[in-house]
Amino acid sequence: MPEGTPMSDRLMDVYHRLYATYGPQHWWPGDGPFEVVAGAILTQSVAWVNVEISLAKMREADCWSFSAVHHIAEPELAKLVRSSGYFNAKARKLKAFAAHVTVKYKGGLDVLFAQPTQLLREELLSIYGIGEETADDIIVYGAGKPSFVIDSYTRRIMDRLDMSPDAERPKYSDYQALFHKHIPADITLYSEFHALWDHHAKMVCFKTAPSCDACCLLDICLTGKKLILNG
């Protein structure tokens, strides 16, 4: 468990404020590991409501296993996931993941997910179309292992709170390292904290014209104070 540091205190203060304001988020919005994996791939650059349509169509078409995804023709799969945008690319990514799991693990995820977290992450990143955020979504919400998910919402709020990594151009790994170094590697904390960052960004901390007056983090947010002062 990380020792107490100013950054750990700040991160946990943010967590407790968000949790007190919004309560538990009950993420991931998926039913079982297959849906988590499919959803993590389909939700790249699109709202979850569009992903739900694609998942419903896959289920209706009985394309609801890695074996089924592996054997369906790619153009047919692309039609099923059209609502998720970039549907040809996402169909290709789904099929790449399904091929990997079908060939190496006979279509199951148990052996894949049983690996140590770092080895699992490395293998996921080796699969076509699986980037860092998608891999960490799968690790946290599919495998139930701690690997903090970083997305544009988390980066936005951290930047506004002046909690960004000490780097000229921080990368995904720089943001993630702050969480791994300064808060306990607890799966419940990781999954809930990520969901709370996202919810806060969608409710208050918008990309443009954030609702700073309604923000539970306002008193620790220099950006918000400046916006109100200049508004």
Question: Do 192 and 25 meet the contact criterion of CB atoms below 8 Å apart?
Answer: yes
pLDDT at 36: 94
Distant-in-sequence, close-in-space partners of 93: CB < 8 Å, separation ≥ 6: 41, 128, 129, 130
pLDDT at 2: 57
- What SS3 class is residue 102? helix
Question: What is the chain's pLDDT, residue by residue, as a tens digit (231 residues)?
Answer: 455 689 999 999 999 999 999 999 988 766 789 999 999 999 999 989 999 999 999 999 999 999 999 999 999 999 999 999 999 999 999 999 999 999 999 999 999 999 999 999 999 999 999 999 999 999 999 999 999 999 999 999 999 999 999 888 999 999 999 999 999 999 999 999 999 999 999 999 999 999 999 999 999 999 999 998 886
DSSP state, residue 142: I
> Residue 73 — φ and ψ, nearest 5°?
-65, 140
Calpha distance 130→230 (Å, rounded): 42
Distant-in-sequence, close-in-space partners of 69: CB < 8 Å, separation ≥ 6: 38, 63, 77, 94, 95, 97, 98
**Terminal Cα-to-Cα distance of the chain (whole angstroms):** 42
The answer, as to whether pTM is greater than 0.85, is yes
pLDDT at 29: 65
